[in-house]
Structure 1
Amino acid sequence: MSSLTDIYDELDTDVSREEFESAVEDKVEQMGGLADEETAAKLIAHELRNEEVEGVADIEPGMDEAKFLAKVLQIGDCRTFERDGDAEDGRVINIEVADASGQIRVTMWDDMADDAIDQLEVGQVLRIGGRPKDGYDDVEIDVDTVEPAPDAEIDVDIHTVNTHRVEDLSLGLSDVNLRGRVLSTDKIRTFDRDDGSEGRVANLSVGDPTGRIRVTLWDGSASLVDSVDPDDSIEIVDGYVREQDGALELHVGDRGTIESIDEDVEYVPDTDPIETVVIDETADIAGGVIETDTKRTFDRDDGSKGQVRNVRIRDDTGDIRVALWGDKADLDIDLADYVVCTDVEIQEGWQDDHEASAGWRSAVYRLDERPEDATTTVESSSDQQQTETGKASGLDAFAETNSDETTVTASPTSQDSNITSSDSMRDNADHNHEQAASDGGASTIESPQTSEDDNTTDSDVESFTGTVVQAGSPVVLDNGTDTRRVETDASLRLGEVVTVTGSTDGQTITPTEIDRSS
């Protein structure tokens, strides 16, 4: 016959021996002599076993209580909140725990939250009791009791639970941990919410061996963008997947974070051959830099300043000019660099050429080494004849590159539908200008507009050479130092370098001649 001690020792429970023996006595009394002590002990043991679920995956909302063993994966920040009346401020902390069957968030309150900060560690095994409820993403536990279980073993690798690769991500996925290499970062932007409050958002692009994804950091997490740099290896913790403009993005809210990791995450870009890009579509392209231009600034219609810089890149299939808008104009890109440009908008350029516009949704980054499977056979832009052994290849051909061309192209129109930021609105305004164009053949246009006063003196006539940084009415020219408005019906295209001659009031020129040979 089994003794009470044997039955109790076989139990894996947080109920003390004294509580167990007292429950057995109560059970014998309740049964009115129908059960002896051993039978009552087995009944109590059965009840206690049923209270402890077999695994995290078995926990469901509506359970009166769930008891389980789990390993600590992540400890959140302790947050305070105001209670109604004069009550003391409350404290709450969220802990991510898991066993072999799954992962769950547990919530600890007040004194228990304080103890969690002081005593809990990642990797520790806990015996937890609490009330299951519907949480933000899935079932959560409001903890009633918790204690360390140092002798228990949980077969969970805290470094791989819920760790995804880019190719694993799908719409609606939450609690995502992803390790990747930072490809590019953007500055923090602000926007106005419908309720009048101000929000903050920032973006970075991250890649791993399976692909690349745009990461959006919201509000309190937006400042995390300042803690990382291109080429850093990081882990994004507790992200969630959303769709924007038909593409998946990984979003990080106040619950998530970004951590640096001591690991060199590999990323090999999967880009489109330049010759295959299509107008009005977005593309990922890469190649060696064969031309560079100086950065140009211009005035937008709203009075703000814009800036753009142009580079030309080439792969084995062709070459294309890329306009770098906004902060991207400040990127350290030079001749012979190998650059990758993702999510660029392909537009029609001068003389049916294709051009790529890298706006605020694009990522542009330089690779220190050209990927082994990348094709970058390059010819000099000033001499594209084949050598006796065929085309010039690699970086040897960059030496003869000329960089005299100057082009200004349009920025993309796409915006994050969740925000109305000043940066995105300005990029949109740039895009509403006419299509970009580079220097064409020399030509002179007789302006259809003439001076209202046929007796204009030489002192009222000005000749001004500059780049068209605003097309339409009026045209705006910029020479790097000064700007002039030009009142004309002539068809001038954004990016052209022209000389206009005509009557002027010092700010606006009404041209009698427009020379494209400048």
Structure 2
Amino acid sequence: MHYALVSDLLSKEAFDEWVEQKSASLGGLVDEVTAAMMVVDELGRRHIKIGDIPSARTSIVSFFGKILEIKPPREFIREGEPPGLVASIILGDPTGTVTLSLWDERAEVAAELEVGSVIEVIAKPRPGKKEANCLALRENQVTIVETKKPPKSETMSAPLTVKILAAFEMKEIVRRDGTSSFLQEFIIGDASGTARLVSWSPELFADVDAGSCVSISGVQRKEDEGIIEYVVSDSAEIRIVPDEITVLSIDASEVSEGSNPIVTGVVTSVSEIRSFTTRRGTESRVRNVAIRGSAASRSVNVAVWGDAADTLFLPGDSVQVINAAAKLNRYGELELSVGRGSVMQTVSLPGVHISVTGMVILRPEGLALDNGKEVWILITDQTPELGMTADVEGIMQNGRIKVTNIDIQTPDPAPLVSRLEPLL
């Protein structure tokens, strides 16, 4: 069984020989299984905790887990092939839970297992997910007393009445067989807090905008380690409700470890974007934004990940951090993390109309206008050339101008020509 963990590193014969040598070197004090585990460990393939599976850097992992739930085998159809079998087991340890899928002949093993027993597993993890495909397993005498609670899923009998706080762009998901479907994610909220909502039929939300209050029937509620998520069925019905829904919000000074609803505050500082390589080998970005609540002078850091790091935030902006989790960073301070299923956005405040002339320049925050006394970030779809003089009209608010009109002044060459004529 343990050879599967290192099959990409050496042959079966070489592994067996190494195991024999390891057992012999210890005077036969350990059995073959223990010797195999020691060899695997020396090759850098150690057992990991279940909580580390989503971020595992190897294509194969080994771990111990307590069986929390067994879903018996079910048959499925493969095009042009005999029917297959699949079963699943939910395993847990003190760090988390994982759904282990057993395919075909391995699925039959599920009937021989019991809830509460501990098994040793070798599996292929699904990157970023609490899921893995079983390669081998066996019962083990390791004791696991406490585990995280297994995920719960239920179809709601009553409609879900919430406010749409944010709507993300639709994504196309390509399956292994080449077919595709579309997915759209939302953040929703009510007086109890906020959550992520997923729809595989985005057309159902064609007439729903962020800020709308809706009643949705045909919703599945999922809960995993205290995190709640809703999935909308294809047959769901969505109705706009006229009444305003109040959503739970807290001040930045009240942030606590774990999930947080809407966190309000004012930006005190913004770092430059930092690029890095993820554990999957892809490039990503992160920007740190410090916000201060009204009830405290201490700032709370917000780590904004991925494409969201490109969002413009300026000191003095009033912001909302929606559905973000907080955890202790390496300095022992609470830090909000804005990534999948969360968002940070500015709160629109009244601005003043402005008409100003200046030079178009480039600042780290983006295109800007400098009139010699002040500098404003320009929010516009136009791309005036740098160094040109421009007449700008728009709404000015906290260091930015939302441009309604921009005219580039055509340089008058006459003064320059008159200065050059004596030299010609």
Report TM bin, short chain: 0.3 to 0.5
Q: Which structure is higher in strand share? A: 2
Structure showing greater radius of gyration is 1
